[in-house]
Amino acid sequence: MAKTKQQPAHEIRMGAIKATIWENQTQTGTRHNVTVSRIYKDGEEWKQTESFGRDDLPLLAKVVDLAHTWIFEQGV
């Protein structure tokens, strides 16, 4: 039997910066984790990295802040 790939609970993207919010059920309730990445194109292929340059940091801060707000709005 094939394992089903977990889908994100929510994604926030601004320009090339993306925050992916994952929902996990635990014994103490729902918990959220966030992964962040920068999307870029290498030739014809889209790739992503977890490395950010100086000019990415202001947008990264905004995306992470929006992820934080979304998680709190879930009321869990």
Cα-trace Rg, the chain = 14
In a domain, 57, yes or no: yes
Report yes or no: 14 and 59 within 8 Å, Cβ to Cβ. yes
With respect to residue 47, please indicate whether it lies within any of the assigned structural domains. yes
Average pLDDT, the chain: 94
pLDDT of residue 1: 57
pLDDT level of residue 20 (50, 70, 90 thresholds): very high
Domain membership of residue 44 as a residue range: 10-73
Residues 38-71 have pLDDT tens digits of: 999 999 999 999 999 999 999 999 999 999 999 9
In a domain, 5, yes or no: no
- Better-scored residue on pLDDT, 18 or 75: 18
So what's the pLDDT on residue 76? 64
Residue 4 lies in a domain: no
Number of domains making up the chain: 1
Please list, in sequence order, all residues whose beta carbon lies within 8 angstroms of the beta carbon of residue 75, skipping any fewer than 6 positions away: none
Q: For residue 63, give the 3-state DSSP assignment.
A: helix
- Pairing relation of β-strands 10-14 and 17-26? antiparallel
Six token digits for residue 7: 């889908």
